[in-house]
Amino acid sequence: MITVSSVSHSYDDTSLVLDDVDLTLPRGALTALIGPNGAGKSTLLSAMARLLSPDQGAVRVDDLDVLRAKPDVVARKLAVLRQDNHLTARLTVVDLVRFGRFPYSKGHLDAEDHEIVERSLDYLQLGEFRDRHLDELSGGQRQRAFIAMVLAQDTDYVLLDEPLNNLDLRHAAAMMQLLRQAATELRKTVVVVLHDINFAAAYADHIVAMKGGAVMATGSPAELMRTEVLRPIFDLDIEVHEIGGRRVCLYWHPEPATLEAPARDDIHAESSSG
């Protein structure tokens, strides 16, 4: 499991992006980090993955002190996919996926490395695209290639920062299904930052809700997908309905917005000035 202890961090020494976060994430589950913009979700994920060193606190993955361990040791324990996963080099899909084996092979892949790469390509159904360049793929195919690279790293823990960015509805749903399968079939511990709370409700085992750098609530979808829990997090009245045994959040208002009509004197003044 991942244990975050008293983690705080700021970027400008004035406002805390993470404010004394204490958190335990279960092993073998798909955990979704949700919350409004600026909640600290991506920063917390970066601290877990040692992409940044927080100003204070500790992060442990099982018995490993992530912030103190050697980089190659951490890379064999957890894999991470950042939001800005664009590469300037013109790579083929298979070349990208081979990067996932670097913590073990240091660039010199053996038979086992190649086998894991091919298995990752097959799992993400990328066999027909293996020799295509990344810039020749659709957004959904390219995102699957990056996920294949992460899976090829063959770690127990997989951390992904907003993997649904720039994906249409069909590809986003397919991506969440793949992550769900990775947790269930491959027994990975998956932590994912999401903006869509309905995807979190549908696919996650565990949800962490954040706001203002603090953890506001944690629990199962049934525990968190409730109007009274979501209202203070998103500053919005969110209707929650159960459909097919799953909780669905409605956070839009189909009726047209009404604006307060101007006073008659104001209308007269505007007409006169026109």
Residue 12 placed within a domain: yes
Of 244, 205, 245, 251, the C-alpha closest to 224 is 205
pLDDT tens digits for range 166-199 = 788 888 898 899 899 999 998 999 999 999 999 9
Residue 105 placed within a domain: no
Give me the CATH number covering residue 38: 3.40.50.300
For position 270, what pLDDT does the model report?
Answer: 41
Residue 180 placed within a domain: yes
268 confidence band (pLDDT: 50, 70, 90):
very low
Structure tokens at 11: 């970027």
Residue 269 placed within a domain: no
d(CA 25, CA 42): 16
Residue 145 placed within a domain: no
Residue 91 placed within a domain: no
pLDDT tens digits for range 143-157 = 889 999 999 999 999
Range of the structural domain that residue 36 is part of: 2-77+155-220
Residue 270 placed within a domain: no
Residue 225 placed within a domain: no
* Domain total of the chain: 1
For position 269, what pLDDT does the model report?
Answer: 42
- Can you give the pTM of this predicted structure? 0.86
pLDDT tens digits for range 48-86 = 999 999 999 999 999 999 999 999 899 999 999 988 766
List Cβ neighbours of 51 (8 Å cut-off, separation of 6 or more). 80, 82
